[in-house]
Structure 1
């Protein structure tokens, strides 16, 4: 594909550094400015910037050309659920420029990335990465909601610095407190924010649990795939994207699992502000056991996993990184790659939990013992399906996916593609009306609650936030116009899960 546009930049930018930023292009992008190759980027989910200072005609017309190559699932690359052959749980691809593109004028030595991590004890670890001179003087200011400076520190760029603040208001889903940050480096000034919270794991009343700020918090959310009938991967607006998140929060969910997709930064900012924990998946390679990654493809998967962590590790809402989903692209023989990948993640970001394998092929790595089972949950229990491994009491018992009950709707709310509609009956379970749908949901919630009360269940993921193409098992239909849950019932059922967790030592 070729994308083309003309643009102008102000004459006042001449003499400064001009950056051309792409939030995400799927899959490989080669960028030309005024006929000159400005750079290349591989990976469909990650942002990149190009210094085009010397290629711009300031105050005049300029030409931008972007050539995009996207093999989708014809190659063994991180692709998520995109396919050239859409069917049931595999969806149409979203090739090309699918997130924002913008230009900016910056100082000659500018902050390329700001890494921030703030713990419950008030310690802020931060690193300002510079574009040119390592060791440039930098200054950090932390401000409260009223704009008052509550902590400050000076140091040098490209090295981790730490400053401690006394008695911060902690971030949690029930109180998503955030603090603004300003960092200056020479003529450059950047603004960001952080939330003080600590994610860890520990034994509570004899059971290994996930801990938020030192307390067992039951993690309950939905499988959030982030597809839209009018834009594929791209939401029609920020408001539409946040509409889904507000619905989850209003029902009592405190978390979502971002399923083998990486969203625009505005999504994670909204989760930070609303108070939704995020379990973030690494986008998988195609789920084809006959085409498992070779050494070079596995190395590329690791390279992009490292980019995912580095670009998103400053968001307070993200609490867990997921490496593999249901064995997709997961090598079957030792040495198991998730062992190495778990260590790589911990070396980049030791502040979060790691779910090495959600569903199916669990080789004992990471912080979670994760089961997938739809019609009946099996969370931290002494019983399990053949598709998953038995519960490992040394790790957190978790229901990585369950539910999935479906309800067909009128053509007004279906995605009007016959090929997709033909796969509706492949949904895990179809309920003929909303009364039956909500009754079946209540049965699954009861089973799930009993496993929280009796066994070692610390959280779970309901499938799913919305319908997608031919799937009709979402809380919302694909057009977001019909909400299936009986709101009062679901609020009560979700609250009962948290009450059950509190009876086992939860917060």
Structure 2
């Protein structure tokens, strides 16, 4: 506790930060959330960023950084002039970044971020890890002028051990270079567009999740996997330390309501361990019970690392009911009534202005009576999934789509699988995620006619790779169309009324991955741009009436066609789409 207080003291009094004097103010935007209006640049997203792997000590590097635009191919230059400031972790194009630069020529520039920090004295003798929640897309990290490493991928968390690059001087310099080619590069980008309009939105470049420092022992836990097994009343846990030695062991504790239910000492690492959980309390939308999990790493019998996590005991499976495939949760059929969530914010774009804002959306979905969210071609910060876990919200997680309409398709295929695996690895322990969605409406699936001959082979390969990392979850191979009778679902998109495909093979669950999209204009809540129009109403009462009518059709499909899940478009308006159940602000 004292270490945490020391870190907080340094943080508050500016000994950690060196750029607080930089001028910053949000850029003007058509609409801004109430959370964005209240943002304090000295206190940005201060909650612990990794809820499923917590340690006591950490330093939040969010806040005002120095910033400038460079030219593609730039290298580090200690004399570089940083002529702007930016509020991290809001993307360059967002109003809350203070920059709001949207430039279609994304292939000819780098962005450079800079700040300094001080290492607290009580960190002496420890390794210092630099964590970045997500950076879109290619970034290189420099500490005190030395390149620490690079990372490619806009949706997965990564870290570097920066200990060898620290100097004895009080202040340490941190510089981050970012390059993002958007669609031209062929990397996963979701619904970002250099020409935002209709269903395509403002692009995102740069740091868009929390940047933070964490002290660890030389020997520490790097990662772990928890797979619930309710049928055998156990958790299957795999521990992955940063290094192995004969004198290492670990103690795993499982707690329910702060009372220990299991304690086991183990000496096997990188192998699956069966940790008993007798008479487990199951996780479900109605009762989202979470067990606390504590892992204590020991070396020569002495504790060197303690990590706190949590787990939900739940099982998702495809079974048969009345002769048809049916999705079961915890060995019981469960109809999933979901809503599409694209995760865009008018002021922060990919980045919510606060943790309260993240939680608010999940709470609203729950209060409206839905039990599932389809997170649409975007990945959220770990805390969003934490709120889903705590509140009992099932999640279908889309893999953000790439672009196969390029000259680099061999690289695009390989990179899509690599980034998909990285995303899945970051989210592997999340109880609320029950389905991975590999492709959506053919995007990144060779949807152009002159290359469609490659589609089936690529789809089968990519879906197989997703299934290999599914960790017991279902896989929706192709939400919308271009279906090849693979995966666990046959998924139709149909607007405005829900509908389903015929299912003659009868081996996969019938779902409707998108329907609805009822437009309702609300004055002073409109984003500029052309509207997407499936159907339009003129009042909230008309929207309610039509929504209920569509819900009746969902019930009809459940009874007649064995429909297992339906996803309404969508929870909020998004830029020029005004078909949300909630306005954009």
Do they fold alike, i.e. is TM over 0.5? Answer: yes
Match of 2:280? 168
Match of 2:468 among 333, 338, 347: 347
Aligned length: 462
Matched, 1:440 2:546: yes
The answer (yes or no) to whether the contact 1:144–1:150 under 8 Å persists in 2 is no
Q: For residues 164-212 of structure 1, give each alpha carbon's deviation from its aligned partner in whole angstroms, at most 9, with x where no partner exists.
A: 2210100000000100011111201111000111111010111101111
Is 1:361 the counterpart of 2:465? The answer is no
Within 5 A, what are the aligned runs for 1:16-415?
16-57=126-167, 60-121=170-231, 122-133=233-244, 136-186=248-298, 187-286=304-403, 290-291=405-406, 294-331=409-446, 332-333=452-453, 335-379=456-500, 382=502, 392-410=505-523, 412-415=524-527
Aligned-partner SS, 1:306? helix
> Secondary structure of the equivalent of 1:450?
helix
Residue 74 of structure 1, CA deviation: 2.1
Return the offset for 1:293.
6.1
Match of 1:429?
Answer: 535
CA distance in 1, matches of 2:202, 2:431: 32
How far did residue 130 of structure 1 move?
1.1
Query: Distance in 2 between the 1:54 and 1:394 partners?
Result: 55
Q: C-alpha displacement at 1:447, in angstroms?
A: 1.2
Q: In the aligned structure 2, how far is the partner of 1:352 from the partner of 1:27?
A: 28
SS at match of 2:274: strand
**Comparing 23-32 with 155-164, which one deviates more in the overlay?**
155-164
Counterpart position of 1:473: 579
- Contact map agreement 1:9 1:59 (CA 8 A) in 2: no
CA-CA distance at 1:338 after TM superposition: 2.8
CA RMSD, aligned part only?
1.6
Determine if contact 1:200/1:212 at 8 Å carries over to the other structure. yes
Q: Distance between the aligned counterparts of 1:391 and 1:314, measured in 2? A: 35
Would the aligned equivalents of 2:438 and 2:466 in 1 still touch at CA under 8 Å? no
CA contact (8 A) 2:116 2:171 kept: yes
Partner of 2:40: none
1:24, 1:439 → 2: CA distance?
Answer: 41
Residue aligned with 1:163, SS: strand
> Which of 452, 458, 464 is 2:570 aligned to?
464
The SS at the match of 2:189 is coil
Deviations along 1:357-406, one digit per CA (max 9) or x if unpaired, are 00011011100000000122113x64xxxxxxx66522100000000111
* Worse overlay, 81-90 or 334-343: 334-343
Which secondary structure state, in structure 2, belongs to the residue aligned with residue 63 of structure 1? Answer: strand
What secondary structure sits across from 1:91 in the alignment? coil
Q: Kindly provide the CA deviation profile for residues 111-159 of structure 1, in whole angstroms up to 9, marking residues without a partner as x.
A: 1112111122322111111112266422211011133343434232222
Q: Could you tell which deviates more after superposition, 426-435 or 43-52?
A: 426-435
Normalised TM-score (structure 2): 0.77
Counterpart in the other structure of 1:491: none
Tell me, yes or no, if the aligned pair for 1:9 and 1:58 is still in contact at 8 Å: no
2: distance between equivalents of 1:149 and 1:459? 35
Whole-angstrom distance in 1 between the partners of 2:196 and 2:245: 48
Contact 1:142–1:152 under 8 Å retained in 2: no
CA change 1:160–1:274 in 2 (3 A) is same
Which position in structure 1 is the counterpart of 2:16? none
| Cα distance in structure 2, aligned partners of 1:212 and 1:94 | 36
**What's 1:13 paired with?**
123
User: Are residues 278 and 154 of structure 1, via their aligned partners in 2, closer, same or farther at CA, if it must alter by over 3 Å?
Assistant: same
Task: Tell me the CA shift for residue 296 of structure 1.
Answer: 1.5
Closer/same/farther in 2, CA of residues 447 and 134 from structure 1, 3 Å limit: farther
8 Å Cα contact 2:294-2:307 kept in structure 1: yes
Is the deviation greater in 57-66 or in 128-137?
A: 128-137
* Secondary structure of the corresponding residue to residue 351 of structure 2: coil
Q: Is 1:455 paired with 2:561?
A: yes
SS at structure 1 position matched to 2:362 = helix
Q: Quick one: distance in 2 between partners of 1:257 and 1:67?
A: 32
Deviation at 1:73, TM superposition (A): 1.5
Give 2:12's aligned residue. Answer: none
TM-score (norm 1): 0.88
Change in 2 beyond 3 A, CA 1:464/1:305: same
- Residues 237 and 33 of structure 1: CA distance in aligned 2, closer, same or farther (over 3 Å): same
